[in-house]
Amino acid sequence: MHYVGIFFVALATLMYEILLTRIFSVTMLYHFAFVALSIAMFGMTAGALIVYLAPSFFSARFLSQRLAAAAVIFPVAIVLSFMTELSIPFRVQTSVIELYAIVFRYVVIAVPFVVSGVVICLMLTGFPRRVSRLYAADLAGAALGCILLVAVIGWSDGPTAVLWVAFLASVGGVALALDGRSASWRRASVIVLAVLGVAAAGHTVLVWRGSPIFRIVYSKGVVETRPLYEKWNSYSRVRVMGNPDVELPVQGWGLSSRAPKKRLRQLHLDIDAWAGTTMTKFDGDLAPLEHLKYDVTNIAYYLRTQHSALVIGAGGGRDVLSALAFGARSVTAVDINKDILRTVNGRFGDFTGHLDRDPRVRFVNDEARSFVARSPDRFDTIQISLIDTWAATAAGAFVLGENSLYTVEAWTTFLNHLSDQGLLSVSRWYFHSRPAELFRTTTIAVEALRRLGVTDPRRHITIVRHMQPGIGTETPDGVGTIIVSRRPFTDDELDTLDREAARLAFDVPFSPRAALDETFVRLTQPDGLDEFLRSYPINIAAPTDDSPFFFNMLRLRDLARTSLLDFGSLSHNMKAVATLGILLVTVTGLTTLCLLLPLWVTRHRVELAGAGPFFVFFIAIGLGFMLIETSLMQRLIIALGHPTYGLSVVLFSLLLSSGLGSYLTSNVNVEGVAEAGRSRLIGLVAVLAIFGLLTPAIVTRIEPMTTTARILAAVAILFPAGVFMGVAFPLGMKLAAGRTSGLTAWFWGLNGAASVLASVLSVCIALTWSISTAFWVGWACYAVALASFVRAGNVAPAKVQV
């Protein structure tokens, strides 16, 4: 039953980790969600250190009983910890009490992971001759958890999924309790299983009826009101608020002050309580929607005749209505979130007018860039209006603003799919003192045009803005729209732009004719541009697929410049990078503590001669595995085109193949592991080198393929690398069992601590340099691990004893 037990404990642990990432995206600011999970995952390391520091309590004599107890407590800890966490409002204020609340929250979150860490550590260190199969079961359970969570959260909701995770954890508790010697723990395990099963099933029914009682109370520090409708999936929570029978003033960040003063029936749709969009009552008559022609996000429609429009980010349907209002004959609306489309056109279809039934309109559930790359069509307009990424997805990696829409490669694809008269229209927030987002979109446009052979990009770019002065420092001054044309703008078109901008009380801060801000002019001139970008106070260089962090403009080297943190609403993203820097220091300190504290506590009873190579080995493979895993998820999510695929394909394939690699080391015995392990680790380093060299080209080639073909290609890419990556840990544990058996729990804890450190380090490296750099740092870690393994193999058996 040990294999069943570790399978379900690992399954529940990874499901809970990913699920918390999703829930914290709703309850916290996104960068604090990343901090919370990083700190919480240190709980597993703490569990391993508890096992190491209390050898008599976890001795072989009591092993089965301790395993049973920890496994039964694990699901209970999940539920109680989660309920406690939900009861604490999340606020970021300069108060000792608020700081205490944040620290207390992090400690509470970590508790279930501490218990899980005890269980898995006891399993992997207590049965050294079975470690290959046990570790394979561990990774297989984690892999299945990636897939299962997508289904569970989809047919229930976030809080209810926690109950289902706890139920699955209790299955592992029953398996390990049945294998133990305590009748009381066997009875307790069955009771916990039954209670959690009933609770999860019962509450799922309540969710289906729209009346959940186990729900989020505080969202980003504010008490949540019950919505009209709510739907969760693995990468978002979609919620509809408002009264469908009440008319409200028309809404829109970019509306001109001269727009008709109208009141319409509108509902608010938000994603993760942060990113919002509007659903408008529509009965087929476009006349009441005249105000849409006064929005700066739609200014491109005045310049050229529009026959076909592509809307990226369908949202509540506002941009679709805008295209129709300007006479578009066909509108293709793409949205990555299937539940937004189902909400707008299904649940509230009578309210929104069932635009999906309009013969001129086609809705597509897909990642827009991937859709465009595969599409044979060309469009007269491609519109992207205020598409933000302030949410942590269930993939776990995309938590600091990675966005594949705002890269040079993406815009090159978009421009290539415009008609000869086509326009790319992108709207972003505008700050009068420093319009950083428009600066950065300008550098993207310039580089994309140059890749298409344009020698004078200024003639192809114009920017229009609508300013709203005096609305506060925490919100933008307005909205700016950059319009990029495949061919140069004509004088007649520029006359039209100036005339319509003046009529609508908009400004034209940049055009081929003039500029209100010389920075825009500088960005469109090739001479000395690289030096200008390096010297600019924040990072406004064009993001690429290898570093797709459009929203994060603070360089890590500038963390000490606190003035850059006060940047209006952009400060959320600026402070995210500052928080990342603090987190890197924190987890580095915790990892060091995991090494030094046990060393100091056990200095009188443990002989450590010859243990150094083992410390280096387990830290190196922990760093290497997570650096490579994270970089692969960041790279392949662009090719796969959907957050769910990043979770279910990348993580599932890598974990499952690593489990197979671990299983294939089963025939390596403790006595012969030094020689057998050396050759396999040489193969690992070689395969990863080939993988790193070939993957970028392969990813580029598979982007235009069908979804099925891209998934199969990704699995084919990942599986060989995963198989080889899976051999390192069990080989290291077998070698340690023959030479340093008393330290194996410590080694497992260090491996876990290094993995958490690497999850933070990988983002820091990608932000500062690139995703490719993070991968090659991971490869270097495996090269160090190989050298350490060879050296550790030269340590005489049983050299180190407890």
Tokens found for residue 231: 């739907």
What are the backbone angles phi and psi of residue 57, rounded to the nearest 5°? -70, -35
Contact 238, 339 (CB under 8 A): yes
Q: Would you say residue 561 has pLDDT above 70? A: no
Q: What is the mean pLDDT of residues 354-380?
A: 93
CA distances from 746 to 469, 621, 670 (A): 59, 15, 19
- The mean predicted confidence, pLDDT, of the chain is 87
The amino acid sitting at 254 is G
Q: Which residue has the higher pLDDT, 253 or 294?
A: 294
CA distances from 410 to 372, 395, 423, 628, 677 (A): 9, 21, 15, 24, 43
Q: Would you say residue 703 has pLDDT above 80? A: no
User: Is domain 1-234 annotated with CATH 1.10.3470?
Assistant: no
Cβ neighbours of 222 (radius 10 Å):
12
pLDDT of residue 687: 93
- Which residues make Cβ contacts (< 8 Å) with residue 35, sequence separation at least 6? 106, 579, 583
CA distance 109 to 508: 50
CA distance 548 to 236: 20
Q: pTM to 2 decimals?
A: 0.89
Quickly state the pLDDT bin for 273 (edges 50, 70, 90): confident
Cβ neighbours of 720 (radius 10 Å):
15
| Closest to 699 measured CA to CA, from 710, 684, 683 | 710
pLDDT tens figures, 412-442: 999 999 999 999 999 998 987 778 899 999 9
Three-state SS sequence of 157-202: CHHHHHHHHHHHHHHHHHHHHHCCCCHHHHHHHHHHHHHHHHHHHH
CATH no. of 555-802 = 1.20.1250
What are the backbone angles phi and psi of residue 350, rounded to the nearest 5°? -65, -30
- Which residues make Cβ contacts (< 8 Å) with residue 680, sequence separation at least 6? 665, 724, 727, 731
Contact 733, 131 (CB under 8 A): yes
Ranges of beta strands (E only) in 503-599 are 507-510
pLDDT of residue 796: 57
Tokens found for residue 483: 């319009």
Contact 79, 196 (CB under 8 A): yes
User: For the chain, what percentages of helix, strand and coil (3-state, to nearest 5) are there?
Assistant: 60, 10, 30
Cβ burial, residue 536 (10 Å; 0-12/13-18/19+)? middle
Q: What is the largest CA-CA distance in the chain?
A: 88
Structural domain boundaries of the chain? 1-234, 268-390+405-544, 555-802
pLDDT of residue 307: 85
What are the backbone angles phi and psi of residue 555, rounded to the nearest 5°? -75, 145
Tokens found for residue 444: 């993207």
Handedness of CA 391, 395, 396, 402 (dihedral sign): negative
Q: What is the mean pLDDT of residues 125-135?
A: 88
CA-CA-CA-CA torsion for 529, 534, 536, 538, nearest 10 degrees?
A: 130
CA distance 586 to 599: 20
CA distance 5 to 75: 13
CA distance 527 to 532: 9
Instruction: Return the top range by mean pLDDT from 464-473, 693-702, 793-802.
Output: 693-702
Tokens found for residue 650: 């990348």
CA distance 576 to 42: 21
**DSSP per residue, 227-245:** PSEEEEETTEEEEEES-TT
Contact 75, 170 (CB under 8 A): yes
Q: Which residue has the higher pLDDT, 717 or 776?
A: 776
| Closest to 139 measured CA to CA, from 722, 761, 762 | 722
CA distances from 677 to 188, 612, 629, 733 (A): 42, 18, 22, 11
CA distance 7 to 26: 29
Domain 555-802 in the same topology as domain 268-390+405-544: no
DSSP-based three-state secondary structure for 510: strand
pLDDT tens figures, 502-533: 999 999 999 999 999 899 999 998 788 889 99
Lowest mean pLDDT among 170-174, 367-371, 413-417, 441-445: 367-371
Provide the percentage of residues in the chain whose pLDDT is more than 70. Answer: 91
Q: What is the mean pLDDT of residues 4-30?
A: 89
Alpha helices (runs of H) in 318-424, residue ranges in sequence order = 318-325, 338-342, 349-352, 368-374, 408-416
Contact 650, 120 (CB under 8 A): no
What are the backbone angles phi and psi of residue 760, rounded to the nearest 5°? -80, -45
Contact 160, 203 (CB under 8 A): yes
Strands, sheet with 461-467, edge to edge from the N-terminal-most edge strand: 361-365, 330-335, 308-312, 379-385, 418-430, 478-485, 461-467, 507-510
- Which residues make Cβ contacts (< 8 Å) with residue 351, sequence separation at least 6? 244, 265, 267, 279, 281
Q: Which fold, 268-390+405-544?
A: Rossmann fold (3.40.50)
Q: What is the mean pLDDT of residues 394-413?
A: 69
DSSP-based three-state secondary structure for 483: strand
Q: Which residue has the higher pLDDT, 167 or 561?
A: 167
Tokens found for residue 697: 């080209």
Quickly state the pLDDT bin for 103 (edges 50, 70, 90): confident
Three-state SS sequence of 737-788: HHHCHHHHHHHHHHHHHHHHHHHHHHHHHHHHCCHHHHHHHHHHHHHHHHHH
Q: Would you say residue 471 has pLDDT above 80? A: no
Cβ neighbours of 286 (radius 10 Å):
13
Tokens found for residue 195: 């209670």
